[in-house]
Amino acid sequence: MSPARKDYTPSVRPRARREQGQRRLTPNYPDPSEVKHLWVSEGYQNTAPHALVTPSTGRRLRVIRVRVHQLAADGHHFCEVYFGGSVNIGARPGKAVDYLRIPNLGTGETRTWGRGAGPLGEKNEPLSYRFTAAPSTSHKFIIEYTEER
C-alpha cells in the first residue's frame, strides 16, 4: 500500500458519486437516457387513436410530461394519453398515462414525473392519444420523454 499524499484530499469518493446518480460521461457518445423533446402538430378531426411517439427499435419510452395546446376556439376537449395502439384508454387501463382536459384556447398537461419515475411502456410500444369527441381545430403536442433499454 502506498503512503497517502499529504497535498491531496478527495472531495467525493467515486462510489459515493455513483450512488448519488452521477455517471461517468464519454465524449461524443450520447447518453442513452437523455431527455428528448418532440413537438407535434396534429390536425386529425376524429376520435381514432393516433401514435405520438414511436421509440427506436428495441427501446422503451418513459414519459416525463405531455402538453397539449389548443390555439383556436373550439370548446374544451378531453384527450386520452396511453401506451400501445388499443382503441381507447378503457380497453387496457394498465397502459394509461393520463386523461387530459384541454380548455378552450388553453393548455392541458399531464403531471410532471422526475427522471426514472414516469410511466414506462414496453419495448417498441408507441405513445398514443385519442380525443373523446372530434375536434374541429388542430392541436399542438409537446412530449418530453426518455428512451430506455
Q: pLDDT digits over 9-63, tens only?
A: 555 445 444 555 555 544 444 455 688 999 999 988 999 999 999 999 999 999 9
Which comes out higher in pLDDT, residue 73 or 21? 73
Which comes out higher in pLDDT, residue 5 or 45? 45
Cell digits of residue 25: 460521461
Are 67 and 142 within 8 A, CB to CB?
A: yes
Domains present along the chain, CATH in parentheses: 30-148 (2.60.120)
Q: Over the range 95-118, which residues count as b (16 or more CB within 10 Å of their CB) and which as e?
A: bebbebebeeeeebebeeeeeeeb
User: How many other CB atoms are found less than 10 A from the CB of residue 66?
Assistant: 26
CA 149 remoteness from chain centre? 15
Question: Is residue 15 helix, strand or coil?
Answer: helix
- β-strand pairing of 50-53 with 127-131: antiparallel
Are 53 and 65 within 8 A, CB to CB?
A: no
Cell digits of residue 68: 397539449
Q: How far apart are CA 50 and CA 92, in angstroms?
A: 16
For residue range 106-141, list pLDDT tens digits in order. 999 999 998 788 999 999 999 999 999 999 999 999
- Counted residue by residue, the chain has a size of 149
Binned at pLDDT 50, 70 and 90, residue 75 comes out as very high
